[in-house]
Structure 1
Amino acid sequence: MSSQKRLLWISDLMLLAVAMVWGTSYGVAKVALAFYPVLGLLALRFGLTFVVLLPALRSLRHVKPSTLAGAVGTGGLLLSVLLAETFGISLTRASNAAFLISLCVVLTPLVEWALLRRKPTGVEWLAVLLSLAGAVMVSGGVFIPTAGDALILLAALLRALMVCVTRRVMHESTLAPLSVTAVQAGTVALGSFGAAIISEFVFASAQWHALPALAGHGTFWTSVVYLVLACTLFAFFAQNFAVKRSSPTRVALLMGSEPAFGALFAYAWLGEQLSVWGWLGGGLMVLGSLLAAVPWQRNAGTSVVLRSAVSSDA
């Protein structure tokens, strides 16, 4: 197997791990939000991430301003995703959030087609349809979104846009994925802190106050550590690493198992209940992500065939 194919498989496995981690993040974030407001939690989570990643910023000394601007731009998009997503989580069930955010799988091929002029393959469209069918089954076929659900749907659209923009930035950039993650974390932390201050003084909304003490608030701090280490440091580095070596649609589809992990965690950790249709719909989403992980190629005609993983490399 060539080094390029090995890197692709490694990135696929990393993305599946990200799907598992991010699936659990909805339940963990909902627990943390019971102790601390949305903007304050985002500023804390990404501020700690930025501090940990400070050494990765050394590579910025020789970077072009346009390259740095691209990384900051993806950080701004990430901030918008997280604002919609986290406020949505605070207003809906964790399992609902996990399933609805997966609709970015449906939206990513359309955004990619519009921005990057890459037409999705037949297999990718099949995986998209499976994910869409799964989302309909989860909603019971009739879906009237609450305010929280609507925010999660907005986050799904913004996430699809971010994957495509990050793909373009990473493809044209000489920055290491860890450096991009550091810039994104700093942008989100600064944006969240600024929004919290504005909310406090302009709208009299308490989005920033004293942090819970370590003693007696172990659940909160354990949640924060998990969100920083697993859901931010590892997850965003893995996504930036993978999106440079794959297409945005493949990245989105590989992470399509995220809602199933999210529903399982919400059921086991928060006691949320899901119908049989919901579990079946989640299964279709997982199937769609597995389809994306299988190596396919076009034959001499127009059909798509499965390529052997052990075939000799040219």
Structure 2
Amino acid sequence: MPAQHPLHQRYPFLPDLLLLLVAMVWGSSYGLAKQALLFYPVLGLLALRFGLTFILLLPAQRALADAAVRRATLQAALPLGLGLLAIFLCETYGVAHTSAANAAFLISLCLVLTPFAEWLLLGQIPSCDALLAAAVSLFGAWLLSGAAQLQLNAGDGLMLLAAVLRAAVTCLTRRLTADKPVATLALTGLQSLVICLSCLLLASMQGGLPPLPTALAFWGNTLYLVLFCTLFAFFAMNYALRHSSATRVALLTGSEPVFGAAFAVLWLGESLSVANWLGGGLMVAASMWAVRPRRRLPLARA
């Protein structure tokens, strides 16, 4: 009977494909989150989003019956959950107080920060290709955002902080999950529980939350955020970070503003200039360059 190889060995392109899909759904999340926030406050939206995610992932907690899996998963759940809580608070409050173009530019700074965070936290010196691709992606994001029109406000500051936190949490996830028997879906559920309970606690300290809205638009946007932008995206990120480098993950998900721009044009009816499209093209090209197949040298030449 032939030996069974892990999924990522049989399909080595799978982590990269999952990350590009993550970038696609995350790109669409900005507009949907802004619409949902018209009906409900930030803490309530986050608590509902991640509470539903945890409920949907309750069956995955059966994986924690194994002692080794339970120990590794629980050790990663709390710090990564709190890290993601900080990211989503900054992003959601930031999106509510800034333009989509500024948000796309500032969150893309994690492309530049991740190689250095990986160097600082994991001791992995970034390659020249990674640094070059990060620089090109940042320039592309600058063009995509409208170049010289960028003006910073409080919302922009929160998006900048979210970019810094993204870089750090990406590396922390790799450190806590790589080469360890972590149950990916169970970890995603526990992270969601940490975020939900934390948001409810913060909301109770501010006087509680209003009743849930009944508008279909709110629930449609919320379910999309739960199923695709949270459930699928968290699973894909945790899976990819166990089988890839943090810099590679950041570069692939760095095409997020491109998909965000496409969503704004096709769904929201916004228009983009030639410079915007050029910036988006540069970001996609940089991501493809970073993950291109490398030709291996013969052993004698190596």
TM-score above 0.5? yes
Distance 1:132 1:279, change over 3 A: same
In structure 1, the partner of 2:187 is 180
**Is the contact between residue 44 and residue 200 of structure 2 (CA under 8 Å) also seen in structure 1?**
yes
Distance between the aligned counterparts of 2:160 and 2:168, measured in 1? Answer: 13
**Is the contact between residue 99 and residue 282 of structure 1 (CA under 8 Å) also seen in structure 2?**
no
Distance between the aligned counterparts of 2:270 and 2:67, measured in 1? Answer: 47
Task: Give the alignment of 1:12-31 within 5 angstroms.
Answer: 12-31=16-35
* Structure 1 stretches lacking a partner, 5+ long: 201-206, 302-314
**2:114 is the alignment partner of 1:113:** no
Task: Give the alignment of 1:115-264 within 5 angstroms.
Answer: 115-137=121-143, 138-141=145-148, 143-200=150-207, 208-213=209-214, 217-264=215-262
Per-residue deviation, 1:40: 0.2
Per-residue deviation, 1:129: 1.1
Distance between the aligned counterparts of 1:221 and 1:2, measured in 2? Answer: 38
Per-residue deviation, 1:193: 1.1
In structure 2, the partner of 1:104 is 110
Between the aligned residues of both structures, percent identity stands at: 52
Runs of 4+, deviation exceeding 6 Å: none
**Is the contact between residue 8 and residue 245 of structure 1 (CA under 8 Å) also seen in structure 2?**
no
Distance between the aligned counterparts of 1:2 and 1:299, measured in 2? Answer: 26
**Is the contact between residue 8 and residue 15 of structure 2 (CA under 8 Å) also seen in structure 1?**
no
RMSD over aligned CA atoms reads: 2.3
Distance between the aligned counterparts of 1:273 and 1:153, measured in 2? Answer: 25
Distance between the aligned counterparts of 2:173 and 2:130, measured in 1? Answer: 20
Distance between the aligned counterparts of 1:172 and 1:5, measured in 2? Answer: 14
* Structure 2 stretches lacking a partner, 5+ long: none
- What is the aligned counterpart of 2:41 among 37, 43, 57? 37
Task: Give the aligned residue type for 2:235.
Answer: F
Distance 1:297 1:165, change over 3 A: farther
In structure 1, the partner of 2:55 is 51
Distance between the aligned counterparts of 1:63 and 1:255, measured in 2? Answer: 33
Distance between the aligned counterparts of 1:297 and 1:119, measured in 2? Answer: 21
Per-residue deviation, 1:100: 2.3
Aligned residues: 293
Distance between the aligned counterparts of 2:79 and 2:65, measured in 1? Answer: 18
Q: So what's the TM-score if we normalise by structure 2? A: 0.90
Task: Give the aligned residue type for 1:222.
Answer: G
- What is the aligned counterpart of 2:288 among 278, 287, 290? 290
Distance 1:127 1:84, change over 3 A: same
Q: So what's the TM-score if we normalise by structure 1? A: 0.87
Task: Give the aligned residue type for 2:134.
Answer: V
**Is the contact between residue 95 and residue 272 of structure 1 (CA under 8 Å) also seen in structure 2?**
no
Tell which deviates more after alignment, 65-74 or 286-295: 65-74
Tell which deviates more after alignment, 141-150 or 239-248: 141-150
Task: Give the aligned residue type for 2:210.
Answer: H
Task: Give the aligned residue type for 2:192.
Answer: A
Secondary structure at the counterpart of residue 254 of structure 2 = helix
Per-residue deviation, 1:169: 1.0
Per-residue deviation, 1:120: 1.5
Tell which deviates more after alignment, 290-299 or 13-22: 290-299
Distance 1:2 1:50, change over 3 A: closer
Task: Give the aligned residue type for 1:58.
Answer: R
Per-residue deviation, 1:139: 4.5
